[in-house]
Chain A
Amino acid sequence: GAGVSQSPRYKVAKRGQDVALRCDPISGHVSLFWYQQALGQGPEFLTYFQNEAQLDKSGLPSDRFFAERPEGSVSTLKIQRTQQEDSAVYLCASSLGRTAVQDQPQHFGDGTRLSIL
């Protein structure tokens, strides 16, 4: 398809397990963002990639969160030793822009709903 694709759509894990969430951005999009959206709240920035380079990871809440985009296309967000507070929708967005241009639209995936039991 032409949009941003995320998988799985839903993920249930037991506390302490590791999880991996996948994002397929729109082909050719240079910039890729991960956001975390807790129930009833707006999304919050986690990390940003420009091609394969992770230029900003200031939003990652702890060192249990790790993201990669090794070939500059598909990205994986990994959460180690999950905790209940990690339960949220994880959104991926991509945009075409290469430079710090603020009028670049971001295209969102449908998100992965993560539930930690």
Chain B
Amino acid sequence: KNEVEQSPQNLTAQEGEFITINCSYSVGISALHWLQQHPGGGIVSLFMLSSGKKKHGRLIATINIQEKHSSLHITASHPRDSAVYICAPPVGYNNDMRFGAGTRLTVKP
């Protein structure tokens, strides 16, 4: 079983739709990162959360530490949201991250 599992792997949506990406993980202790990776490789950290919910603009992330599950929501999706979204719990003393395979989101106009 993979340490970090994301669903769906691929997601195509129409502009304006509400998006949900799920992440279940079996490693790490108390926090999780959500990252956005655009074509060409650049990674941007969207959220780091250890409990409850965080909101930034149209992005909302929730986490349940006990169940080791997190969700990323995008409201009023836009084509510029098209990217790969990766969840990554930090593990171990060094806090190096274990990465999910990512969810490839395509938002069509």
Contact = CB atoms under 8 A, between A and B. Distances in A.
Interface of A: 31, 33, 35, 37, 41-45, 48, 50, 55-56, 59, 89, 91, 93, 95, 97, 100-108, 110-111, 113
B31 interface: yes
23 contacts: A37-B41, A42-B100, A42-B102, A43-B99, A44-B99, A45-B96, A45-B97, A45-B98, A48-B94, A55-B94, A56-B92, A56-B93, A93-B43, A100-B94, A102-B50, A103-B31, A104-B48, A104-B90, A104-B95, A105-B45, A106-B45, A108-B44, A110-B40
Contacts of A44: 99
A64 to B, nearest CB: 21
Given A48-B94, A55-B93, 15 more contacts: A31-B94, A33-B96, A42-B102, A43-B97, A56-B94, A56-B96, A100-B93, A100-B94, A101-B95, A102-B95, A103-B50, A105-B48, A106-B45, A106-B95, A113-B41
Contacts of B45: 105-108
A104 B88 CA distance: 13
Interface string B1-38: 00010000000000000000000000011110101000
B101 interface: yes
B9 to A, nearest CB: 10
Contact of B86 (A33, A42, A55): A42
B42 interface: yes
A59 B94 CA distance: 12
Contact of A106 (B29, B33, B42): B33
A91 B31 CA distance: 21
Contact of A108 (B4, B42, B93): B42
Interface in B32-79: 33, 35, 40-45, 48, 50
Contacts of B88: 42
Contact of A102 (B4, B29, B86, B102): B29
Given A102-B50, A102-B90, A103-B50, A108 B97 contact: no
A111 B95 contact: no
Nearest to B40: A110
